[in-house]
Amino acid sequence: MASIDITDVRKAYGAVKILHGVDLTIQDGEFVVLVGPSGCGKSTLLRMIAGLEDISAGEIKIGGKRVNELDPKDRDIAMVFQSYALYPHMTVAGNMSYSLRLRKTAKEKIAAAISGAAEKLSLTPLMERRPKALSGGQRQRVAMGRAIVRKPKAFLFDEPLSNLDARLREHMRGEIKKLHQDLGATSIYVTHDQIEAMTLADRIVAMNAGVVQQVGSPLDLYDRPANLFVAGFMGSPAMNMFEGTYRATDGAPRIELGQGISVPLAGPAPTAEGTKVTLGIRPEHVLVGRELPGGFEARIDLVEPTGFGTILHASAFGSDVKAFSLERGLAERGDTVHVAFPVERIHVFDTATGARIG
Amino acid sequence: MTRKRIVATVAHRVAILAYVLFALFPLFWVLKISVTPNDLLYSEGVRLWPSRTVFDHFDFVIRHSDFPLFFRNSMIVSLSTAVIVTILSSLGGYAMSRFSFRGKFWIVGLMLLTQMFPLVMLIAPIFKILSPLGLTNSLSGLILVYVAFNVPFATFLMQSFFDGIPKDLEEAAMIDGATRFTAFRQIILPLTLPGMAATLGFVFTAAWSELLFALMLISGVDASTFPVGLLSFVSKFSVDFGQMMAAGVLALIPACLFFFFIQRYLVQGLTAGAVKG
């Protein structure tokens, strides 16, 4: 196991810049998830750590040793691919032992290593099968088995669950987390799925357009997103965002949302009077009721029952307000209700820069 | 099944049968003439099978003509060409499929360019080049020319097979501890065997039946290949059809055997893209 240090790493294909200087330190044994929309550079960063892409500038160290110039085979890392990348002409046992055979490991050691891994992943009855004869979930487990047999310094996962159906994905997510708890291996996991990121990560690295937006624990990112991108990306249903104007001259800091509605803030924000700001509030924090103090009128446009709870879409002050409630039958379509934004749940962002200001 | 569908199926089968008969008839005729005694050749000219069959022609061709020599020459030339071309085009096709390098566009362009000219145009210059090198009238010269002419197309063919193999596989192998070449050898090559078999078969048959260069570059009997040799059965006053056909039947054997052995891979190769791994 080892730590991974990434210092001002950049990637450019000719004039097209993919990564604009990433700094990140991953502790020994930590599970870090790189999350972001397609094309944000997260996979490129992972492939640079693996040695599959050249590093245009900056430095990557694994276990304190600079690896920029090392071939993938000399970096002592294992990777699980989205496509699993199992060798079709080898059996499960052959796939799992390939790395050890390349290293000329003794036969008995190989047998012990693969049977140990197979047991851990319940692959024992499948060892003589070829990948063609396996289901998606089984292939996924073989790919993981191939990674764990040789006890590498770090595990890299490139969207490993994207090809599975929803139920299996949930199951494998649990298995990956369990495996990490068992092995305590340094892991970097790339995904565009924020639920995977939230559930798996010790720390999440949110990326957009080749820039790291925020690094922190899952709940940090969820509760205190550093900017509009993170606020909008993390969480489903997504955070409500309303543009307004910051007012504080009379000693009562608030955001004017238009149509005479203004929402009071807990304290003054570090910005000038009249600045365009964005108010963010998560749907589960929006209160919905018949009469709410400090609330304002809204008409229910759409009711989406999820079974687990209900998503209500309401229109108020010319905007669409989403609310999520565990309660059923809170309102029907066409109802006029009150919605309220509890002051301690409000996020404030500077609309121009996107940065969090309160 | 409705009446209409039965009619359609029957028509379909009949059409296929007609085509197969049409395609195979010349081969059948070669076989028929090769076992027809000379005295019946014209008197029973249009009968489907002669009233008496003999193997005299085969006997003569094998024991009293230069045919075994031609056959040996053809084997050497075709096998060498097929093997060399397959190796070169595998390496080249892999590079074309996986790497981007300076001048790739121009190299591909040049390779296409070589396919544009009718071979007849090139015979004189090639003769002019090979002659001072002592490569006319030699099997090596012929192999060299065949390799040169087959490599571009075979490279494109192999490239398409490599393109069908996901990049992830060799990346996984490289992370598992293989060098790029080891990954190529142990992971990619085994998966490209069908493609290589197809290339091997294609080049082998092309070289086996090539006449133009063999005729122009080789003048002596010692280095003649079998297509050139066949012409020796045509003399000034007559054509010895029986012996010529017997030689033809014998020449078909290696090509048939070759395809018999590689057909398993060939079918895989031609359908490789259709099956999800």
Q: How far is CA A176 from CA A25, A127, A136, A353, B65, in A?
A: 22, 20, 15, 37, 74
Q: Does A178 score more than 60 pLDDT? A: yes
B interface mutation test: which of A98, A144, A158 has the most B CBs within 10 A? A98
Q: Determine, for residues B175 and A73 on separate chains, whether the beta-carbon distance falls below 8 Å.
A: yes
Of B166, B168, B176, the CB nearest to A99: B176
Work out the mean pLDDT of chain A and round it to a whole number. 91
Q: Determine, for residues B172 and A81 on separate chains, whether the beta-carbon distance falls below 8 Å.
A: yes
Q: Does A345 score more than 60 pLDDT? A: yes
Select from A75, A85, A28 the least CA-distant residue to A55.
A75
Task: In whole angstroms, give the CA distance from residue B87 to residue B85.
Answer: 5
Q: Determine, for residues A51 and B179 on separate chains, whether the beta-carbon distance falls below 8 Å.
A: no
Burial class of A78 by CB neighbour count within 10 A (0 to 12, 13 to 18, 19+): buried
> Which residues of B lie inside 8 Å of A (Cβ-Cβ)?
166, 168-169, 171-179, 182, 187, 190-191, 277
Altogether, the residues listed in chain A come to a count of 358
- Residue range A4-233, CATH number: 3.40.50.300
Q: Which residues contact B42 (CB under 8 A, 6 or more apart)?
A: none
Question: Phi, psi at residue A53, to the nearest 5°?
Answer: -130, 145
What are the boundaries of each domain within chain A? 4-233, 240-350
CB B178 within 8 A of CB B186: yes
Q: Determine, for residues A132 and B171 on separate chains, whether the beta-carbon distance falls below 8 Å.
A: no
Chain A contact set for B166 (CB, 8 A): 83, 85
Q: How confident is the model at residue A294 (pLDDT cuts 50, 70, 90)?
A: confident
DSSP assignment string, B66-99? SHHHHHHHHHHHHHHHHHHHHHHHHHHHHHHHH-
pLDDT above 70 covers a percentage of chain A that reads: 100
Q: Which CATH architecture has domain A240-350?
A: Beta Barrel (2.40)
And the tokens for B100? 């981007």
How far off is chain A from B190, nearest CA to CA, in Å? 7
Could you tell me if residue A286 is left (phi over 0), alpha (psi between -120 and 50 degrees) or otherwise beta?
beta
Query: Residue B269: its pLDDT value, please?
Result: 53
| Better-predicted residue by pLDDT, B67 or A348 | A348
Tokens 């005299």 correspond to B56
The most confident of A18-32, A130-144, B203-217, B220-234, by mean pLDDT: A18-32
What b/e string do you get for A124-160 counting C-beta neighbours within 10 Å, with b at 16 or more? eebbeebbeebeebbbbbbbbbbbbbbebbbbbbbbb
Q: Roughly how many angstroms between the first and final C-alpha of chain A, as a whole number? A: 39
What b/e string do you get for A268-299 counting C-beta neighbours within 10 Å, with b at 16 or more? ebebeeebebbbbbbbbbbbbeeeeeebbebe
Q: Determine, for residues B175 and A52 on separate chains, whether the beta-carbon distance falls below 8 Å.
A: yes
- Interface A:B, Cβ pairs < 8 A: 59
Of B166, B177, B179, the CB nearest to A85: B166
pLDDT per position in chain B (277 positions), as tens?
688 899 999 999 999 999 999 999 999 999 998 998 888 878 877 788 888 888 888 888 888 888 888 889 999 999 999 999 999 999 999 999 998 888 999 999 998 888 888 888 888 888 999 989 988 888 999 999 999 999 999 999 999 889 988 888 989 999 999 999 999 999 998 888 888 888 888 899 889 888 888 888 888 878 888 888 888 777 777 778 888 888 888 888 888 887 787 777 766 655 544 334 3
Nearest CA in chain A to B169: A85
Chain B contact set for A155 (CB, 8 A): none
Query: Residue B268: its pLDDT value, please?
Result: 62
> Which residues of A lie inside 8 Å of B (Cβ-Cβ)?
50-52, 71-73, 75, 77-79, 81-83, 85, 87-89, 98-99, 102-103, 131-132, 146, 150
Question: How many CB atoms within 10 Å of residue A93?
Answer: 20
Task: In whole angstroms, give the CA distance from residue A171 to residue A175.
Answer: 6
Q: Determine, for residues B169 and A73 on separate chains, whether the beta-carbon distance falls below 8 Å.
A: no
Query: Residue B270: its pLDDT value, please?
Result: 52
And the tokens for A84? 């699993």
And the tokens for A181? 């708890």
How far off is chain A from B101, nearest CA to CA, in Å? 14
Section A229-239 average pLDDT = 92
And the tokens for B101? 């390098």
Q: Does A296 score more than 90 pLDDT? A: no
DSSP assignment string, B4-22? HHHHHHHHHHHHHHHHHHH
CB B213 within 8 A of CB B229: no
Chain A contact set for B187 (CB, 8 A): 87
| Better-predicted residue by pLDDT, A267 or A50 | A50
How far off is chain A from B181, nearest CA to CA, in Å? 12
And the tokens for A199? 């559930």
pLDDT in tens, A252-261: 888 988 888 8
Of A50, A75, A88, the CB nearest to B191: A88
CB B244 within 8 A of CB B233: yes
How far off is chain B from A156, nearest CA to CA, in Å? 10
What b/e string do you get for A34-49 counting C-beta neighbours within 10 Å, with b at 16 or more? bbbeeebbbbbbbbbb
CB B77 within 8 A of CB B141: no
Nearest CA in chain B to A99: B176
Query: Residue B222: its pLDDT value, please?
Result: 82
Q: Determine, for residues A72 and B175 on separate chains, whether the beta-carbon distance falls below 8 Å.
A: yes
Q: Does A227 score more than 90 pLDDT? A: yes
Task: In whole angstroms, give the CA distance from residue B83 to residue A139.
Answer: 36
Q: Determine, for residues B175 and A77 on separate chains, whether the beta-carbon distance falls below 8 Å.
A: yes
Query: Residue B1: its pLDDT value, please?
Result: 64
Query: Residue A157: its pLDDT value, please?
Result: 94
Query: Residue B274: its pLDDT value, please?
Result: 39
How far off is chain A from B179, nearest CA to CA, in Å? 7
3-state SS class at A8:
strand
Tokens 């995977």 correspond to A196
Chain B contact set for A52 (CB, 8 A): 171, 174-175
Q: Determine, for residues A51 and B175 on separate chains, whether the beta-carbon distance falls below 8 Å.
A: yes
Query: Residue A228: its pLDDT value, please?
Result: 95
Query: Residue B242: its pLDDT value, please?
Result: 86
Q: Does A169 score more than 60 pLDDT? A: yes
Chain A contact set for B178 (CB, 8 A): 73, 102
Chain A contact set for B173 (CB, 8 A): 87, 98
Which value, to the nearest 10 degrees, does the dihedral of the CA atoms of residues A35, A40, A43, A48 take?
-120
